[in-house]
Chains A and B, each alone.
Chain A
Amino acid sequence: MSLGPYTSFIVTSYTLVAAVVLILIVWIALDYRGQKERLRELEAGGIARRSGRGAADF
Chain B
Amino acid sequence: MALIDLANPTRFLNAAARVLPWLAAVTALVFAIGLYLVWFTAPDDYQQGATVKIMFIHVPNAWLSMGVWTVMSIASIGTLVWRHPLADVAAKAAAPIGAAFTFLALVTGSLWGRPMWGTYWEWDARLTSVLVLFLMYLGLIALWRAVEDPSRAARAAAVLTLVGAINIPIIKFSVDWWNTLHQGASVLRIGGPTMDRAFLIPLLVMAVAFSLLFITLHLAAMRNEILRRRVRSLQMLQARAFSGESLPRTGSGVGTGSRAENASKQQSGAA
Contact = CB atoms under 8 A, between A and B. Distances in A.
Interface stretch (B123-131, B143-151, B249-257): B249-257
Contacts of A13: 54, 57-58, 107-108, 111-112
B224 A35 contact: yes
**Mostly helix, strand, loop or mixed at chain A's interface?**
helix
Interface in B180-200: none
Interface stretch (B75-83, B84-92, B163-171, B231-239): B231-239
B227 A47 contact: no
A42 B49 CA distance: 58
Interface string B95-112: 011001001100110011
Interface in B1-49: 10, 13-14, 16-17, 39, 44, 49
Nearest to B101: A20
A4 B28 CA distance: 29
A9 B112 contact: yes
Given A16-B108, A48-B251, A9 B54 contact: yes
A56 B231 CA distance: 9
A24 B221 CA distance: 10
Contacts of A29: 220
A2 to B, nearest CB: 7
Interface of A: 1-7, 9-10, 12-14, 16-17, 20-21, 23-25, 28-29, 31-32, 35-36, 38-39, 42-43, 45-52, 55-56, 58
